[in-house]
Amino acid sequence: MSINIYFDGSSNPPNGNGFTMGGIVFEQDDKVIYEGSAVFGRGTNNYAEFKALWFALTMALRLGYKKANCYGDSTLVIKAMNDHCVVRDSKLLSIYLSIGELARQFDWLSYIYVKRNTGLHALADKLSKI
């Protein structure tokens, strides 16, 4: 059984060592089946975006899901997860590698870019700023 995962991260202020959070929404059969928020500590917006995906995959596995389409508005995260760019920042690299470890526990995953605040991604964005 597969789900759609919408994830977003936020940092306040966004370009510094801000307070970071993530929001996630799981959809199955056109229904929201899970939504959540998490606090990640201090970091950049890119840090928050990677942590939001990590949080989403962790929760999906905890809930027993092994197939998912992951939708996010971070070009860096989506490109990195699709092996279209290299993550060099050491703080981001450690999260990226942790996501890779989680991904190996899934039967199938895809990473898809969506425009900011569209569809259920708008809810994930809202949850990342609670």
DSSP, collapsed to helix, strand or coil, labels residue 38 as: strand
Number of domains within the chain: 1
What's the pLDDT at 127?
Answer: 97
Rounded alpha-carbon distances, angstroms, from residue 89 to 43, 76, 86, 93, 122: 12, 12, 9, 6, 28
**Burial (CB count <10 Å: 0-12, 13-18, 19+), residue 52:** buried
pLDDT at 1: 78
Distance CA 45, CA 51 (A): 10
> If you average pLDDT over residues 101-105, what whole number do you get?
98
Strands 31-43, 18-28: pairing is antiparallel
Q: What domain range includes position 44?
A: 2-127
Residue 130 confidence class, pLDDT cut points 50, 70, 90:
confident
What's the CATH code of the domain at 20? Answer: 3.30.420.10
CA dihedral 99, 105, 108, 113 (to 10 degrees): -10
If one counts every other C-beta atom within 10 angstroms of the C-beta of residue 34, the result is 16
Does residue 56 have a pLDDT over 80?
Answer: yes
Classify residue 70 as exposed, middle or buried by CB count within 10 Å of its CB (0-12, 13-18, 19+).
buried
Q: 15 pLDDT exceeds 80? A: no
What local confidence, expressed as pLDDT, does residue 52 receive?
98
- What's the mean pLDDT in 28-41? 96
Banded pLDDT at 16 (limits 50, 70, 90): confident
